[in-house]
Amino acid sequence: MSAQSHPTLCQVVNEVVETTSVFDIHTHLFDPAFGSLVSWGIDDLLTYHYLIAEAFRCSTEPAEVFWSLDKSQQADWIWQHLFLERSPISEACRGVLTTLRLLGIDARKRDLPTLRKHFAKWTPESYTDHILQIANVRKVCMTNLPFDDQERPYWEKGFTRHPSFVAALRLDPLLLEWEKTAGQLHGWGYDVRADLSGQTLGEVRRFLGDWALKMDSQYCMVSLPPEWRFPENTVTNRLLQEAILPFGRDHGQAFAMMIGVRRGVNPELRMAGDSLAPADVPSVEALCAAYPKNKFICTMLARENQHALCVAARKFRNLHIFGCWWFLNNPSLIEEITRMRIELLGLGVTPQHSDCRVMDQLAYKWSHSRPILAKVLSEKYSDLSDTGWHVTRAEIERDVHQLLGGGFEAFIKH
Ligand code: HDL
Ligand code: ZN
């Protein structure tokens, strides 16, 4: 019989990974209803902060010259430095070109004004559905900040939600800038005090309940610095222990921690100026042990933390780890980390999220990650076959659905 009628294990795995739709559990994308907050198109792709950082390395011009340009001029500058004057070989550069290829746009002329014309025919709504279809993404989790003056009015006014976009309640200002945020909450009618006295912690729980309901949030989340420790007597940990975790336990909201960012190590790069440092996995383990009725989701930014985080997840069934985050979202590290996770955790992990900021990036980030996941899975299923255990296509489909967001949905379900 022809090879087609007997596809190899590798062919089946590749096909299943390519055709299984994804729940992208952490992004910075917005439902098209958020209008001007939605980033999409070639100029937003080129001014992604990953590319700004890379382009700055190719120029000696003062940073303020770049920041004085408008978005289109910034995109021209980045295109010139990273795509025309040198081969666009980095992962973030490759991503722009993968996106154009998947959109059927021929970039061989390398002419940015011509490329721009391809985007003119779309609206944010039609483009969103087109990209979701190209990327084979069924659900996108946003990052939603009640504290953001641009975003909050949309939630307060209410809007018709796109069926593929869900919300996550982001709490960095509350947990990391309490003094300032207490004033904001007080202004919104919550009886909170900077010193956490009086009704403060109960009122923070009321705030969380109000916004989790308003957003229908899937989980609460925070990005923590590498210095975060638990236990430790800090305002962050008091808010966590006496407001966020009791709220999460009572309302079935898992708590996501993204740990290891050092914000603004180079302020002149603005959003592109963040870096990383190894964080403390024992603190994550102590939190999971102290709060067995809470569900924790975690990703860490330092490559050095990945193995210990896998072991922590082996110890605590209320800990679900995810993603090759930010500086780890590169083929060499995705393969290393995914292989380690499957060897240590089997299928009880969410190998990837996109962290997209620009709608178009869904196409390239998943196009780049899927083959790596398929390669690792093919190896592992082949190792299984060597033992005499042969998986069926249906079992591969079940497993891949779990890895591409199905397992996460089951974990956060309350
Ligand atoms: O804090 C976060 O969620 C990070 O993902 C940052 O937003 C970071 O700027 C980023 O976009 N990483 O991919
Ligand atoms: Zn993010």
Please state the rounded mean pLDDT for residues 274-282: 98
Tokens read off for 120: 């003119």
Supply the pLDDT for residue 286: 99
Average pLDDT over every residue of 395-411: 98
pLDDT one-digit tens code per residue, 21-47: 999 999 999 999 999 999 999 999 999
- Residue 26: how many CB atoms within 10 A of its CB? 25
What mean pLDDT is predicted for residues 337-342? 98
Per-residue pLDDT for 266 more than 50? yes
Indicate which ligand has the atom closest to the C-alpha of 50.
1
**294 has pLDDT over 60:** yes
- 3-state SS, 118-132, equals CCCCCCHHHHHHHHH
Q: State which ligand 1 atom lies nearest to the alpha carbon of 143.
A: 3
CA 35 to chain centre: 21
Instruction: Using pLDDT thresholds of 50, 70 and 90, give the confidence band for residue 304.
Output: very high
Question: What confidence tens digit (pLDDT) does each residue in 11-24 have?
Answer: 999 999 999 999 99
Q: What CA–CA distances, in Å, run from 85 to 60, 62, 110, 267?
A: 15, 19, 11, 26
Backbone angles phi and psi of 221, in degrees to 5: -150, 160
- Is residue 52's pLDDT more than 90? yes
Proximal ligand: closest to the CA of 274: 1
Structure tokens at 378: 């093919």
What's the pLDDT tens digit per position in 96-107?
999 999 999 999
Query: Is the CB of residue 258 below 6 angstroms from any atom belonging to ligand 1?
Result: yes
Q: What is the mean pLDDT of residues 274-302?
A: 99
Distance CA 298, CA 323 (A): 9
Q: Assign residue 198 a region: left if phi > 0, alpha if psi is -120 to 50, beta otherwise?
A: left
For position 6, what pLDDT does the model report? Answer: 81
Chain Cα centroid distance, residue 192: 31
pLDDT digits (tens, 9 = 90+) for 190-222: 999 999 999 999 999 999 999 999 999 999 999
Ligand nearest to the CA of 172: 1
Cα–chain-centroid distance for residue 98?
19
Protein residue whose Cα sits closest to atom 3 of ligand 1: 223
Q: Specify the pLDDT at position 4.
A: 54
Task: Encode the chain in three state secondary structure.
Answer: CCHHHCCCHHHHHHHHHHHCCEEECCCCCCCHHHHHHCCCCHHHHHCCHHHHHHHHCCCCCCHHHHHCCCHHHHHHHHHHHHHHCCCCCCHHHHHHHHHHHHCCCCCCCCCHHHHHHCCCCCCHHHHHHHHHHHHCEEEEECCECCCCCCCHHHHHHCCCCCCCEEEEEECHHHHHCHHHHHHHHHHCCCCCCCCCCCCHHHHHHHHHHHHHHHHCEEEEEEEECCCCCCCCCCHHHHHHHHHHHHHHHHHCCEEEEEECEECCCCHHHHHHHCEECCCCHHHHHHHHHHCCCCCEEEEECCHHHHHHHHHHHHHCCCEEEECCCHHHCCHHHHHHHHHHHHHHHCCCCECCCCCCCCCCHHHHHHHHHHHHHHHHHHHHHHHHHHCCCCCCHHHHHHHHHHHHHHHHHHHHCC
Q: Measuring from atom 1 of ligand 1, which residue has the nearest CA? A: 223
> Among 313, 293, 224, 294, which Cα is nearest to 260's?
224
pLDDT digits (tens, 9 = 90+) for 84-131: 999 999 999 999 999 999 999 999 989 999 999 999 999 999 999 999
Ion ligand 2 nearby residues (CB, 5 A)? 355
Q: CB neighbours of 263 closer than 8 A, spacing ≥ 6?
A: 225, 273, 274
Q: Is the pLDDT of residue 1 over 50?
A: no
Give the span between the Cα atoms of 114 and 106, in whole angstroms: 10
Please choose from 28, 29, 221 the residue to mutate so as to test ligand 1's pocket, defined by most ligand atoms within 8 A of CB. Answer: 28
Q: What is the mean pLDDT of residues 351-374?
A: 98
Report CA(2)–ligand 1 centroid distance (Å). 48
Render pLDDT for 215-255 as a digit per residue (tens, 0 to 9). Answer: 999 999 999 999 999 999 999 999 999 999 999 999 999 99
Q: Quote the pLDDT of residue 99.
A: 98
Q: Domains in the chain, start-ordered, CATH in brackets?
A: 9-39+136-413 (3.20.20.140), 41-121 (1.10.2020.10)
Q: What is the mean pLDDT of the chain?
A: 97
